A and B are shown apart, each in its own frame.
Chain A
Amino acid sequence: MIAALWTQIRVIAALMLRETRMTFGSSHLGYFWAIMQPLVSISFLVFLFYLIGRQAPYGASLALFFATAILTLELYYKLSVSLMRAFTSNKQLLSYPMIRETDTLFARLFLIGLTFVIINFIFYGGLIALDLAGLPAHPEKLVMAFLGTCFFGFGIGTLNAIFYQRSQSWQYIEKIVARPLFFLSGVFYIPSALPPEAVAVLRWNPILHLVEWTREGYYPHYRSDILVIGYPLAIASLLVMVGLFWERFSRKQRA
């Protein structure tokens, strides 16, 4: 049992190293780009909104308000999209008996998770250094929100991988579903301050809850009327369970 666990840890670690190489080439700067790429695109977005700059919907810093949402949203996007291709781009790996398809999912989850830990540190660190933000008020809550987002992204990503493996056109459907999330996830507004009709609809979006969770973690007094932590977590659990069981039971037919 313990030996099997070690094998799996070893396999996932090896896969993570391999993923960094495959995604970013074999230059030593490879991982640097892994961090720079989302960092630059997020900075650009925040900077853009900062230029359009009205007053911050909440708190003193517009940049921080956007950042709390965009960092969460980007983490989710990244997981959703890159896990989608985990099965199809790793087919040749299955000639090694100890590698299960799910290991490729876990490897990508950990790699993206770790990358975003670094991105979060750099980004919030930068805002703090530029005096655009204070220290997070409830770091433990911020960490929980981050883990919750990873969990949710993993659930969606796993199902994406299963669908994508069956039909490549799933990537277009995923895009259609994912696109409006940017507007539905409270990037530019305080969800609790919207009219009740809008709230009644928006509150079904689990990612909005994750964003609200992050904000409650960062700001000392941010109070969300919408946030129910159990909601995104329950959906994530359901997705992960369905995804992993589905993968397990369809494995024999695919081979």
Chain B
Amino acid sequence: MIDLQNVSKSYTVKKVQKCILDDVSFTFETGQNVALMGHNGAGKSTVMRLIAGIEPATSGQIRRSEKVSWPLGFSAGFNGLMTGVENVRFVARIYGAKTAQVLDAVESFSELGQSLDLPIETYSSGMKARLAFGLSLAIDFECYLIDEITAVGDARFKKKSAAALQDKIKSARVIMISHTEKTIRDYCQQGVLLYESKLYYYDDMNALLADYRKFC
């Protein structure tokens, strides 16, 4: 369960104040695969970062009773000067996972081969994303946060990622940002619409998509 209590989030960029959440109390119930939708710039990614615990809320509290991943599909957490292997070891260590086991899993999933021994700065963005995705699957999270990840790599790798993710959500759940209707229907049964700094819950995907088209 991820529980937001009276959470507000706003920030100021060059004197322009932007309000993402305004006094929102909301619970992401355990086990639900939730789609997070909203129009461009509404702050979906920021909400995800709040859920992940990367960014502090301006006020209010967020409680998590499950092991939440970092938002997948961005590899900003990697250090470019360190090799793939070193980055993987580091992340495994901070999450208290067994480094050898995680490394094996990442090696076989990411198909990066010898590139794993090269510094990350030599990777293409597709390679980085493959590494990040493989790594997050190798560490057992209970809740995967996915920010537009499905567009990674070539067709074959996309298929492989999708299969791996489907397999994963048998034992874990996802909270997912996507603009693609099909992706959302493939993974999610519930939805949340971020609209004018509030979160609205939908039990029914058709209703969510209908409102999404109407308001966003």
Q: B94 near A14 (CB under 8 angstroms)?
A: yes
Taking CB atoms and an 8 Å cut-off, the chain A residues in 75-101 that contact chain B are 92-99
A205 proximity list for chain B (CB < 8 A):
none
Q: A22 near B93 (CB under 8 angstroms)?
A: no
Given the known inter-chain contacts A96-B70, A97-B53, please indicate yes or no for A18 contacting B82, CB distance below 8 A. yes
A6 proximity list for chain B (CB < 8 A):
96
A23 to chain B, nearest CB (A): 10
Instruction: Name the residue of chain A whose CB is nearest to the CB of B71.
Output: A95
Determine if A48 is an interface residue (Cβ-Cβ < 8 Å). Answer: no
Looking at chain B's contact residues, the main secondary structure is: loop
B23 proximity list for chain A (CB < 8 A):
none
One of B73-81, B101-109, B157-165, B166-174 at the interface: B73-81
Q: A96 near B94 (CB under 8 angstroms)?
A: yes
Determine if A251 is an interface residue (Cβ-Cβ < 8 Å). Answer: yes
Taking CB atoms and an 8 Å cut-off, the chain A residues in 205-255 that contact chain B are 251-252, 255
One of B25-33, B83-91, B122-130, B185-193 at the interface: B83-91
CA distance A255 to B70 in the complex (A): 16
B56 CB contact (under 8 Å) in A21, A93, A95, A252? A252
Taking CB atoms and an 8 Å cut-off, the chain A residues in 149-199 that contact chain B are none
Instruction: Name the residue of chain B whose CB is nearest to the CB of A103.
Output: B94
CA distance A11 to B92 in the complex (A): 10
A96 proximity list for chain B (CB < 8 A):
54, 70, 77, 91, 94
CA distance A93 to B78 in the complex (A): 8
Determine if A17 is an interface residue (Cβ-Cβ < 8 Å). Answer: yes
Determine if A37 is an interface residue (Cβ-Cβ < 8 Å). Answer: no
CA distance A251 to B55 in the complex (A): 9
Determine if B34 is an interface residue (Cβ-Cβ < 8 Å). Answer: no
B78 proximity list for chain A (CB < 8 A):
92
B79 CB contact (under 8 Å) in A14, A22, A94, A252? A22
Binary A-proximity of B52-75 (CB < 8 A = 1, otherwise 0): 111110100000000010110010
Given the known inter-chain contacts A7-B96, A10-B93, A14-B94, please indicate yes or no for A26 contacting B86, CB distance below 8 A. yes
A98 proximity list for chain B (CB < 8 A):
94-95
Q: B74 near A95 (CB under 8 angstroms)?
A: yes
B93 proximity list for chain A (CB < 8 A):
10, 13-14, 17
- Beyond A92-B78, A98-B95, list 13 extra A-B contacts (CB 8 Å): A10-B93, A11-B94, A14-B90, A14-B93, A17-B93, A18-B86, A92-B76, A94-B54, A95-B54, A95-B70, A95-B71, A98-B94, A252-B56
